[in-house]
């Protein structure tokens, strides 16, 4: 089973659409309310980053399986400026909203698995997944 769907992020309203899609998929997989809220918060954060720093991009949501476990994979991709220092942005307290638990370290905490690929001047792709346990 490999269901996929996506939302283009162009305006701030698209962040809500991406959340809605993520929540529907999370419910469909069988995640409880708390995990649904965690996944949508992660999606919010990723979509907001696209909106703020890249201008436009895409949030893609896939249902996945890992052995017996079902889960959700979120892929945020953009063709924006890329991230110069990945280690820095992954550091706690670095983001401008430092101390508020936001930013990419927050996404990493909310999800089980987190990958980031970025090329300066070409764009960034972030994949984050969570399994239903």
Residues that bind other proteins (CB under 8 A): 32-34, 37-38, 40-41, 92-93, 99-102, 105-106, 109-110
The answer for residues whose C-beta is within 8 angstroms of residue 68's C-beta and 6 or more apart is: none
Compare residues 71 and 106 and give the one whose CB is closer to other proteins. 106
CB of 67 to other proteins, least distance (A): 23
Compare residues 58 and 130 and give the one whose CB is closer to other proteins. 130
Can you tell me whether residue 56 is helix, strand or coil?
coil
Compare residues 42 and 77 and give the one whose CB is closer to other proteins. 42
- Concatenating the DSSP letter of every residue in 60-120 gives EEEEEEETTEEEEEEEEEE-SS--S-HHHHTSTTTSTTTTSS-HHHHHHHHSSEEEEEEET
CB of 87 to other proteins, least distance (A): 14
CB of 55 to other proteins, least distance (A): 25
CB of 121 to other proteins, least distance (A): 30
Max Cα–Cα distance, the chain, nearest Å: 40
- 29's enclosing H/E stretch is helix 13-29
Compare residues 93 and 121 and give the one whose CB is closer to other proteins. 93
């Amino acid at each position: 089973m490999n269901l996929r769907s996506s939302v283009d992020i162009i305006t701030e309203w698209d962040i809500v659409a991406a959340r809605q899609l993520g929540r529907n998929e999370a419910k469909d997989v069988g995640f409880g309310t708390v995990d649904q809220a965690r996944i949508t918060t992660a999606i919010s954060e990723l979509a907001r980053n696209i909106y703020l720093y890249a201008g436009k991009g895409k949030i893609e949501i896939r249902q996945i399986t890992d052995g017996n476990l079902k889960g959700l994979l979120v892929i945020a991709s953009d063709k924006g400026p890329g991230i110069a220092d990945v280690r820095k942005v992954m550091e706690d307290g670095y983001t401008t909203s430092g101390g508020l638990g936001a930013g990419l370290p927050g996404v990493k905490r909310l999800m089980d698995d987190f990958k980031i690929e970025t090329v300066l001047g070409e764009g960034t792709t972030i994949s984050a997944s969570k399994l239903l346990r």
